[in-house]
Structure 1
Amino acid sequence: MSTWPTEMAPPGRGTAGPPSPALQPGGMVGDGRYRLLSYSGTDGRCNAQMWRARDGQLGRDVALTVLLGNQGDAHAAARVRRTLERAMHGASYAHPGVSRILDVLSPGNGIAPREHVLGIVVAEWTNGTDLIDLIADGPLPAATASRLLEPLAAAVEGAHHAGLVLGTEHPQRIRVTPEGQLRLAFPGPRAEASSRDDVKGLGAILYLLLTGRWALPGGPQGLPVAPIGPNGSVVAPRSLHPMVPHALSAVAVRSLEDTSVGGIRTGAAILQVLDEIAEAEAETGLIPVVTEQEPEDNVVWTTQRPVKDKTRTRKLAIGVTALAVATLLVLGWIAMQVVGFFNENNTKGDSGPPLVISQVVPTTETKQSINNAPTPTTGPVAPASISVFNVASDPDSPNKGGLAIDGDPNTSWRTDKYLSNFPALKPGIGLMATFAQPVKLAQVVITSPSAGTKVEIRTAASDQPQLQQTLVVGSATLAAGDTTIPVKMTAPGQRIVVWITSMSPSGKLWASQIAEIKFIGGR
């Protein structure tokens, strides 16, 4: 980490608190015990700066979280005291994902009264690199991000069980060890920080590793912020980078959401997904996970030249010859029948009555009767369109929904591959069929190879309803092949949702596919 001339502020990162001659490289703090070596970042939310410093008494490098402010400001002093109390309680907590706290300083206790410093948290120095420097060349692969975050997530979960808050919600407090693990290098949680903020911090760090963007307020200057979707939530990492596994993308977003709308509450839930990603990588070696897609336009690409097979060529020639002979025989028979028909008519002459063809011209009354005739409601009913119905952040195979109604059972719409079955990270996924006119269905027939998949047939009143605004009119567990689902509709509807509530197991993963959907009308 580079330093800068004494008369210059840290470039691009800003400063916190009133200017202090001591807070420059080479300056001394803590009653002259600690000499500042290099600046690591600023947490403007609590007016703190993070520094690498040298302990002159013990001759070792340490990490300083310097809390700045006016010592005459009672409100600021009270907030800092709360931070220092939390830091002292955390000094007994030992975990590889957290730098060990060595000392806590306050005015009159290691801090000279003249300094513009309200408190200092001293922790052991973490060798390695800054978290932000790690993504300088772009986002990381999903497996790498999982391995990096796992120790920090485990540290958060352990601290919460011990009744502690760590304060992980700022990227410049985190460093990457030489062993490739994230570590809270500058402990000292804000006075108002809660365990929920730690979970949000984990989600924001995971989002940063997967996208290169920071998803919480108060981030460093110059660091790109996460985009916000129409619903007010951050856009899912998978929407920005399709190579991100769905489970990892979902856990990053849900960690940032409020628990009242389904947000993740604990570090254990995040840790479980990280463990599953690591386990899947170890067993399959297919990280990052790529969603299986249908070949475009059914084109098969190959790098091998075709092999000349004489036996196969001979069989093909015999088959073509036999087909040609059969075709000639059929055409000859048809010609004989036509000739016989005309000869028979000529023999009969005019003995029969003349055939009169009359044209019926519809009257006004006839036209009105035709227009008012009821539309047939029985038998197969084809939808006008179909789309993926999704209530979470990103849909599964959004461009493949039409394969479920294309009449070809060899093509299918597929869900993503999940590490956990619904509703672990998502309540479900489905397809919404829209009809030109309201229909009253009696049955829905689903063709699927995914035995064990559980589905519900629902009606919807709008194009983009919430799940709770739809009505269940049928349900079933799919068998391999065709499954007929009885439907009980009290009134015709124009939008029908096939909603998957449980997927089929596929080794360590979960996924389902739907080859065809047929809608059968009834009276």
Structure 2
Amino acid sequence: MTQVGEGHETAADGAGPVMTFGTSTVGEVLAERYQLEDHVNNDSAGRQVWRGIDVILRRPVAVVLRHPGGESATEMLQAAVDASRVIHPNLVGVYDAIDEGERAYVVREWVDGAALRELVSTNGPMDPARATAIARSIADALTAVHATGMVHGNVHPGTTLIADDGRVVLADARADAADSIEADVRAVGGVLYYALTGRWPHAEVGRSALPDAHRDAAGTIAAPRQVRAGVPAYLDDLTMDLLDRRVTAPDAQALAAELARLDAADEDYEDAGPLRFTQGTSVEPVRSTRKIALGIAALVVIALLGLIFGINAISNSDKGKPAGTPQAGTNQTGPAGGANGDGANTPAAPPQKIPLTADMVRIVDPPPGTRDDAGEAAKTVDGDDSTAWETQGYFSPKFGNRKAGMGVLINLGQARSVSDVRVETSAPGVAMDIRTGDSDPGDNSAGDDKIVKGYKRISDDDIEKTTGTDKVFTGFDENQKYQYILVFLTELPRGDDGNYRVNVNKIEVYGN
């Protein structure tokens, strides 16, 4: 299995861009010691990751190469030097850090296994016990890092490596001035959330190419128990507390201790008890199930009594009122259905999801686009979370500066009232907007050109890049009906391979 050293989508080397070209080749020996065996991939900062061999000690190593070296590689090398000072079974060992001017490289332990992001992406969310054990190992590693006064700064499913022998190790520290001990600890909550749901909470932990957590219209994150069945309440509470900045985060040692307790409980969830973090790093004592049940029962009784008294008060207040006198707020100005009995005051029906099928959507790729994505539009409306329209990779965010953008044209079949359009992408940082027109001039290059030039945006506001992966577009005129709607992408985020790309997972239209 491959090993990938990667993490947040913030470049590790703030002094300049990473150039992935260079003269490194299979069989080359660096520093007269490290022989390059296989180019695995480029990490999320654009650096080359190689599997190599330490020809002196005859052991496998991972070599992370950056072009150029020199001043622009200072941060990468310093992070490696700092990491080499901490020895812990749950931390990837760092062996060497070398700057040759034209290139710089870090040599670290090679882990036979896979990153957590690969395992979950391939096999789906993990069972609660396994997710707890992984989070515990990461918290243990952070305890050792923080004890030295350092920050890791890159806790992520891509840097959480699971060895074939079951060992969990944290790799690729990238701390900078913006990172903190608290951010490290909260990122453990992100790892837990990803292991349990297969999604990464961008707003709470940090940007990533992983799909964002499920959110409601207000942007509030869905708890793991809302996403999937079988997540114990204590683990759900722990994960959400770590992601909630209103709740004081514990230090790594306290978190590791609590995870150890939960890990020991394993399947005996009833004995694990609830968890709440308080000020400082202490954890409230576990409250007995009996006391919790009694407290809930008391609250139910109080609520019922309040309801009874409330009903009696309302009934008594109605006595003595003249027949036909309207109650406050009931708008009883005439017969049922409106002031004149004709339904004029009947509230409009709430917006409903409009069913979309494959024959109602198509890709719009204006010149000089190749229209190679023509068959991808159906994947945005098939209701399958495992499928998506995958854009091609471009060397710049604005589609290689070759065209205005690309999008999905929706034909509702007839003019309808529309309240909003909801789009789910694989990553934040997408510039997109909604446009409407009167017709589809043709499923061809010329027709796509007319659509892009002739359709009008529903909003005059500046187009802003998405901060999450779920975007809700409003702004439709309630007095107008729409048949043709264009979801149009004008700027793409950077992908794991260094190119700019994104997946459009889902498109939904709501209206009447």
Q: Give the alignment's TM-score, normalised by structure 2.
A: 0.48
Determine which structure has greater relative contact order: mean sequence separation of CA pairs < 8 Å that are 6+ residues apart, divided by chain length: 2
